[in-house]
Amino acid sequence: MSKNLAWSLALIGVAVLLLAGMLVLTNRDDSSAEVAREAPTAQLVREDSPRLSEGKDAVFVEFLDFECEGCLALYPVIEDLRDEYGDRVEFVVRHMPLHDNSVNAALAAEAAANQGEFEAMYQRLFDSVDQWGHQSTSQAETFAGYAEELGLDTERFRADVNDPATLARVEQSRQDGQAFGVAGTPTLFLDGQRLELTTVAALEASIEAAVND
């Protein structure tokens, strides 16, 4: 185990309990989920799905909502796992927006991806969620401000956010997740198999086993 990961585990013990609860919630309808996972037209990973890394030994997929407390608790763990396995594991993000500004956040991330800056926007959204999350008003202008701070072409960013094709990608991600039985976030898959985890240690062990299989 890396020093960074060990430090992260020590710091977020309370957050892990929250994550465990969120993971349990995603499994509240196991029978229907098993049927949904067989949907022939669904794709767990699509060609245009955002990647945080391009490792070849395993594929890790997270269905997330940028406003989700469980996803926020998991975020620093994923960052440490990427540091540890990013050259061996393909980390893929799929959108499952469930809160007020989650669609706008997903659109901002996708628009940033069009300029090769998905990772930067992904990190910016999580790092600043206490400023924009769970607001009753649209935070689209806040996200445009983030784009400017990240050095993006803001005119193109705004156009991409408003492009129906961008919304269609977010909606496709949501539909794919629902077809695979995803009902809450975060929901995780490793090499095509849904992970039913309650601890960060179990997550690390699963990835370690996958890359050494």
Domain residue extents for the chain = 3-211
Q: How far is CA 46 from CA 51, 61, 63, 93, in A?
A: 10, 11, 13, 10
Among 143, 152, 155, 52, CA closest to 106: 143
* pLDDT at 13 > cutoff 60: no
How many C-beta neighbours within 10 Å does residue 212 have? Answer: 9
- The mean pLDDT value for 38-47 works out to 75
Q: What's the pLDDT at 22?
A: 41
Does residue 19 register a pLDDT over 80? Answer: no
Residues listed for the chain:
213
Q: Rounded mean pLDDT of the chain?
A: 86
Burial classification of residue 11, based on how many CB atoms lie within 10 Å of its CB (0-12 exposed, 13-18 middle, 19 or more buried): exposed
% of the chain residues with pLDDT over 70? 81
DSSP 96: -
Could you tell me which of 50, 173, 69, 63 has the C-alpha nearest to residue 126? 69
Per-residue pLDDT, 41: 65
**Higher per-residue pLDDT: 13 or 50:** 50
Is residue 32's pLDDT more than 80? no
Q: How confident is the model at residue 152 (pLDDT cuts 50, 70, 90)?
A: very high
Q: 105-144, pLDDT tens digit by residue?
A: 999 999 999 999 999 999 999 999 999 999 999 999 999 9
Least-confidence region, from 15-29, 53-67, 158-172? 15-29
**Rounded Cα distance, 164 and 160, in Å:** 8
Spatial CA neighbour of 65 closest among 109, 28, 24? 109
Read off the amino acid at residue 35. V
Question: What number is the average pLDDT over the span 30-53?
Answer: 68
Percent with pLDDT over 90 in the chain: 78
pLDDT score for 42: 81
Topology adopted by domain 3-211: Glutaredoxin (3.40.30)
